[in-house]
Chains A and B, each alone.
Chain A
Amino acid sequence: MMKLTRKLFNRTSLLPFSLAALACVATLPNQAYAWEPTKPVEVIIPAGAGGASDQMARTIQGIVVKHQLMKQPMLIINKGGASGAEGIMDVKDSKGNPHKLMVAFSAIYTLPIAVNLPFNWRDLNPVAMIASDEFLLWVNSDTPYKTAKEYLDAAKKANGAFKMGGTGSKREDHIITVALDKIAGAKFTYIPYKSGGEAATQLVGKHIDSNVNNPSENIAQWRAGQVRALCVFSEQRMVYKDKITKDQSWADIPTCKESGVDVQYQMLRAFFLPGGTTADQAAYYAELLKKVTATPEWKDYVAKQALKEVYLTGADFVKFLEKDEAFHNKLMHEAGFAAKK
């Protein structure tokens, strides 16, 4: 038994090194980086194991290993305490460490506002944005509502009796709920759960009336016909045309705007280095992520999770961040989520 274990260990720890050397010659013939990692790279996930950010990072890790894209190993570390503040502060405090990457989502804007966290994304070195995640309005399929309009009208009539579930408090799901309240005049009772998975289960069990989960958080229940997607909070419909349920694909879901509820929200999925790192270092990881996003495994993953493919780096990425930050700032203050100073 121990022999087998050892064999397995050897395979994992030694093979990548020797093969990576070979692979470098084979796949990257003329590529010379201004900088390359010299130590194992830690990827900090400011979220718990098993969530959407975690899955994405582990998929990328798998792709990097499989295609020998990096000579050094990649370690995934979950620091999901305090809605991600734990991981964000850890990366902020690792000034000048080029062997630490952070997976970012909208918490980088909302947390500083909601709890006075002494953090701003400008404290970090932006590497690249690789996708954005959609949000949808879901109801239990036993309910009669077929469109967002019908559902929100009913919610308005119920005057506070409808329950909306979501992940955490004063975060993206909560922001969308408040925006819906404003535009549609509905008064949802927002119930915060620990994860999107929990919110999905609670919707199937009819403990809540709706949720605004990401596609990946509700896809299983959708396919099984337990929940119904009413609309997507985005400018355009999603692009994936393969049938997911018996008769619907992601592209068949109307936007909320089409249904007369103009609420739009998307969440970035991006990578950052700690502050004090160089442009060369950021460029290395941006290039690495570019290669990752070109693999068939990544295309497959993106399609399954119905992520919107966006690749932004350098000045474009910074411009996006500034705009997105201002957007969140406005939403958070309008919703009354800003902490008392």
Chain B
Amino acid sequence: MEEFSALFHGFAVALSWYNIGMMSVGIVLGIVIGVLPGLGGPNGVAILLPLTFTMSPTSAIIMLSCIYWGTLFAGAITSVLFNIPGETHSVATTFDGYPLAQQGRAGEALTASFTGSFIGAFVAVLLITFLAPLVAKFALEFGPPEFFAVYLLTFCSFVGTGKDPAKTIIAMMLGFGLAAIGMDTVSGELRMTFGWSELLRGIDFLIVVIGLFGVGEILISMEEGLAFEGKSAKINMKVVLETWKKLPKYWLTLIRSSAIGCWMGITPGGATAASFMGYGIAKRFSKDGDKFGTGMLEGVIAPETAAHASGTAALLPMIALGIPGSATAAVLLGGLMIWGLQPGPLLFVEQKDFVWGLIASMYLSNIAGLIIVLTTVPLFAAILRIPFSIIAPIIIVVCAIGAYSVHSAMLDIWFMVLFGIVGYVMKKLDYPLAPMVLSLVLGDRAEAAFRQTMMGSKGDLEIFWSNSLVGSITTLALVMLFWPLISAAWRRLRGGTKAARLAA
């Protein structure tokens, strides 16, 4: 096969000591950037881009894409340890990762998340290696109706009725409302800014999340007795091996999440949407689905695998078509041009060394990344042993820096405090936070896609069933939404005592 020889040639390019050194540097930097909330992959890559002008393009992109891998891996660390998502795509990881850490199983949660990430990325790289040209065409099939259908599917696969439907609806609608603040990209009009120029940019997802989860959690732990529980986290490497023994039984979740991630990465749905969809679908189809949110390993693996598969697959459209699948990919794309390479459909033809060197480096750097992050597991788990009176103010400081650096705006730190209080009250009153976060992250994108569609179709809703692709996604979304009813009906049809119990 042609791909094989090209790939081996790529390995030869990537496997120099210099490049391996660059890989390690990139991954370590990525981990540092990923752990600090507010500093994300795009920042890291953008900041280091000027350094790479003197390197060869292949070494440069290897280092930069390794920063990207590093941030993807590391986003989970603060999610698990402190309930603070370091990156937007690791929000879903907090749902089960943090409860695990509270039970003293932080090491397990981290190992599972890193391993899941690795597997997701590996599947995506395989996809890039063998199917890039084919799959790249698939990305072009996506117009506004298809995008809306994908967002709808993410939404429907994640949202359940919850304990209290009224409160779930309130949380969700508040999220949509927050997402709508600022300039409406479709009409160019301002919404709900009340003449306040600081509100023009809207309220960033990360600020809300840092407030709700990070600050809110500290307030809750204060009330519950001054400490993060789970100080007893094991801190040796044995935990890695023990966790690995448990992972094979989640093979189905791993495959499912990898597939979701690859798909969402190629169609720029993004890692964040992928992680929510991965979590939602795992919850719906797992036999322990109702225990999700209380600290299930599966609930950590599902979103992380999907997020990492998506982050990796996002590079495919970039390489093959010159379309950035994510913000980081967009900055990398800018880098390509500065190095004198023209991204786009011809890159595969004109710059074989570069492309295959990059693909080969994805294999190597993911393996290197996994090894590096796994060795840090005991280190990070040990952070939980630091006394509360030291770690709590440091967390608040880091949250404040994170909130500020999103837009370099002081007001955002105040918003963070405000959402901390909101998070505290919502948690005390049993309002679910997850639907709010999901609608906040997908709300404006889904709305924009919907309205772009309507402009094209002149207000005709049938466009969502106008071709087989969009039709099947929309239908799938509706099936997901009504899945509890459908599965109950199915079981009742088949009869049996189990059905009676479920229906009750």
Q: Which residues of A contact B (CB under 8 A)?
A: 1-2, 4-5, 8, 11-12, 48-51, 54-55, 58-59, 61-62, 65-66, 76-79, 81-83, 85-86, 89-90, 114-115, 117-118, 163, 168-171, 174, 189-194, 197-198, 200-202, 204-205, 207, 219-221, 223-224, 226, 300-301, 304, 337, 339
B342 contacts A by Cβ under 8 Å: yes
Contact partners of B190 in chain A: CB under 8 A: 82, 115
B394 contacts A by Cβ under 8 Å: no
Contact partners of B407 in chain A: CB under 8 A: 79, 81, 86
Contact partners of A50 in chain B: CB under 8 A: 324, 327, 329-331, 333-334
B104 contacts A by Cβ under 8 Å: no
* A156–B262 CA distance with the chains assembled, in angstroms: 41
* A112–B322 CA distance with the chains assembled, in angstroms: 33
B25 & A4 in contact (Cβ 8 Å cutoff): yes
Contact of B140 among A54, A89, A204, A339 (CB under 8 A): A204
B182 & A82 in contact (Cβ 8 Å cutoff): yes
Within 8 A of A (CB), among B36-85: 42, 46, 49-51, 53-54
Task: Mark each residue of chain B from 448 to 479: 1 if its CB lies under 8 Å from any CB of chain A, else 0.
Answer: 10001001101000000000000000000000
B197 contacts A by Cβ under 8 Å: yes
A219 & B342 in contact (Cβ 8 Å cutoff): yes
A48 & B330 in contact (Cβ 8 Å cutoff): yes
* A337–B144 CA distance with the chains assembled, in angstroms: 24
B183 & A224 in contact (Cβ 8 Å cutoff): no
A219 & B344 in contact (Cβ 8 Å cutoff): yes
A61 & B343 in contact (Cβ 8 Å cutoff): no
Shortest CB distance A242–B (Å)? 13
B201 & A224 in contact (Cβ 8 Å cutoff): no
Contact A65-B408, Cβ < 8 Å, known A50-B327, A202-B143: no
B187 & A169 in contact (Cβ 8 Å cutoff): yes
* A62–B338 CA distance with the chains assembled, in angstroms: 9
Contact of A197 among B144, B200, B323, B337 (CB under 8 A): B323
A86 & B25 in contact (Cβ 8 Å cutoff): no
B452 & A226 in contact (Cβ 8 Å cutoff): no
Contact A62-B28, Cβ < 8 Å, known A79-B408, A169-B185: no
A1 & B24 in contact (Cβ 8 Å cutoff): yes
B248 contacts A by Cβ under 8 Å: no
Interface size class of B (residues with CB under 8 A): 35 or more
B177 contacts A by Cβ under 8 Å: no
Contact of A58 among B25, B322, B334 (CB under 8 A): B334
Contact partners of B338 in chain A: CB under 8 A: 55, 58-59, 62, 301
Contact partners of A89 in chain B: CB under 8 A: 197, 200
Task: Mark each residue of chain B from 201 to 240: 1 if its CB lies under 8 Å from any CB of chain A, else 0.
Answer: 1100000000000000000000000000000000000000
A5 & B322 in contact (Cβ 8 Å cutoff): no
Contact partners of A300 in chain B: CB under 8 A: 340
Contact partners of A226 in chain B: CB under 8 A: 345
A85 & B197 in contact (Cβ 8 Å cutoff): yes
27 contacts between A and B (CB under 8 A): A2-B28, A48-B330, A50-B327, A58-B49, A58-B334, A58-B338, A62-B50, A65-B53, A79-B201, A81-B183, A82-B183, A82-B200, A86-B201, A86-B407, A168-B185, A168-B188, A169-B187, A170-B187, A191-B452, A197-B323, A197-B324, A197-B330, A202-B143, A204-B321, A205-B142, A207-B456, A219-B342
Contact partners of A169 in chain B: CB under 8 A: 185-188
Given contacts A201-B323, A205-B142, 10 further A-B contacts (CB under 8 A): A8-B51, A49-B327, A55-B338, A79-B407, A81-B182, A85-B197, A86-B200, A168-B185, A192-B452, A197-B330
* A86–B145 CA distance with the chains assembled, in angstroms: 30
* A51–B334 CA distance with the chains assembled, in angstroms: 8
Contact of A85 among B21, B54, B201, B321 (CB under 8 A): B201
* A192–B344 CA distance with the chains assembled, in angstroms: 23
Smallest CB gap from B142: residue in A = A205
* A114–B343 CA distance with the chains assembled, in angstroms: 34
Contact partners of B340 in chain A: CB under 8 A: 300
B313 contacts A by Cβ under 8 Å: no
Contact partners of A339 in chain B: CB under 8 A: 189
A220 & B344 in contact (Cβ 8 Å cutoff): yes
Contact partners of A81 in chain B: CB under 8 A: 182-183, 200-202, 407
Q: Which residues of B contact A (CB under 8 A)?
A: 21, 24-25, 28-29, 42, 46, 49-51, 53-54, 139-144, 182-183, 185-190, 197, 200-202, 321-324, 327, 329-331, 333-334, 337-338, 340, 342-346, 372, 407-408, 448, 452, 455-456, 458
Shortest CB distance B277–A (Å)? 21
Contact partners of B21 in chain A: CB under 8 A: 4
Smallest CB gap from A192: residue in B = B186
A201 & B321 in contact (Cβ 8 Å cutoff): yes
Which 4 A-B pairs have CB atoms at the shortest separation, nearest pair first?
A: A220-B344, A81-B201, A50-B330, A207-B143
* A171–B189 CA distance with the chains assembled, in angstroms: 12
B25 & A1 in contact (Cβ 8 Å cutoff): yes
Contact partners of A171 in chain B: CB under 8 A: 188
B50 & A58 in contact (Cβ 8 Å cutoff): yes
Contact partners of A204 in chain B: CB under 8 A: 140, 321
* A82–B191 CA distance with the chains assembled, in angstroms: 11
Contact partners of A194 in chain B: CB under 8 A: 185, 448
Contact A224-B345, Cβ < 8 Å, known A50-B334, A82-B200, A82-B201: yes
A117 & B183 in contact (Cβ 8 Å cutoff): no
Contact partners of A76 in chain B: CB under 8 A: 46
Shortest CB distance A71–B (Å)? 16
Contact partners of B372 in chain A: CB under 8 A: 1
Shortest CB distance B88–A (Å)? 15
Contact partners of B29 in chain A: CB under 8 A: 5
* A78–B409 CA distance with the chains assembled, in angstroms: 12
Shortest CB distance A40–B (Å)? 13
Contact partners of B452 in chain A: CB under 8 A: 191-193
Smallest CB gap from B334: residue in A = A55
Contact partners of B330 in chain A: CB under 8 A: 48-51, 197
Contact A189-B334, Cβ < 8 Å, known A86-B201, A168-B185, A224-B345: no
Shortest CB distance A165–B (Å)? 9
A12 & B51 in contact (Cβ 8 Å cutoff): yes
Contact of A224 among B187, B324, B344 (CB under 8 A): B344
Contact partners of A48 in chain B: CB under 8 A: 327, 330
Contact partners of B456 in chain A: CB under 8 A: 163, 189, 191, 207
Smallest CB gap from A73: residue in B = B50
* A202–B449 CA distance with the chains assembled, in angstroms: 13
B202 & A82 in contact (Cβ 8 Å cutoff): yes
* A101–B393 CA distance with the chains assembled, in angstroms: 35
Smallest CB gap from A165: residue in B = B452
Shortest CB distance B64–A (Å)? 13
B327 & A83 in contact (Cβ 8 Å cutoff): no
Shortest CB distance A321–B (Å)? 22
A223 & B342 in contact (Cβ 8 Å cutoff): yes
* A77–B408 CA distance with the chains assembled, in angstroms: 9
B201 & A191 in contact (Cβ 8 Å cutoff): no
Contact partners of B189 in chain A: CB under 8 A: 115, 339
A85 & B183 in contact (Cβ 8 Å cutoff): yes
Contact partners of B342 in chain A: CB under 8 A: 219-220, 223, 304
A192 & B322 in contact (Cβ 8 Å cutoff): no
Shortest CB distance B360–A (Å)? 21
* A118–B200 CA distance with the chains assembled, in angstroms: 12
A189 & B455 in contact (Cβ 8 Å cutoff): yes
A221 & B24 in contact (Cβ 8 Å cutoff): no
B337 & A304 in contact (Cβ 8 Å cutoff): yes
B200 & A85 in contact (Cβ 8 Å cutoff): yes
Smallest CB gap from B52: residue in A = A62
